[in-house]
Amino acid sequence: MEKSLAKALRLIEIMARSEAPRGVSDLGREIGLNKSNVHRILDTLREHNYVVQHESTGLYQLNLKLFELGSRLLSRLHLKDVAQPWLSRVMEQTGESCHLMIYQDGEVIYLDKIENRLPVRAITELGGRAPATCVASGKALLAYRPQEEVDRVLRNLKRYTPKTITDRAQLQKEIDTARRVG
């Protein structure tokens, strides 16, 4: 195996077992590499969205990219078998398509879905992402995040379509409503 790849994979495994973000020196000691080697590997991993570096502390942690890639294989896992009856039930009760998703860094990642029977539907791809502020389920997930995370997301609003809400106060109101009504 390519030595650089082996080092990167080992670093990913160490970070996956870490309970908290880690620094370059700390990771270097554990993996047995000098700081410049660890920093180069982390830069490459960050460039390809496998790790994130926290601006305030400079510490690194894994992003959910590995999970995102793995979620594309959900059809082979039992999570889909467990979630599908619940998704179907919600779809039947509401008449709307139902998605199973996870929140990550201002976005939602689609894990599973049940489509409604109506001719007009939301088009989503399993393993795909959407800005949390642009989809109702993303706003619902934001309602259960700490307010500091909501504030961070609302500071970085972008227009994706002519109907994208970019007014912070209006989005905060929608998130507050979701929080209030559950």
Query: Residue 128 sits in which domain range?
Result: 67-181
For tokens 């993996």, the residue is 31
For residue 95, give the 3-state DSSP assignment: coil
Domain stop point among 63, 83, 114: 63
One pLDDT digit (tens) per residue for the chain, 182 residues:
578 899 999 999 999 888 889 999 999 999 999 999 999 999 999 999 999 998 889 999 998 888 887 777 655 667 777 888 988 898 899 888 888 888 888 999 888 888 887 777 777 787 788 999 998 889 999 999 989 999 999 998 999 889 888 889 999 999 999 999 98
Residues 24 and 37 in one domain: yes
Residues 50 and 80 in one domain: no
Number of independent structural domains in the chain:
2
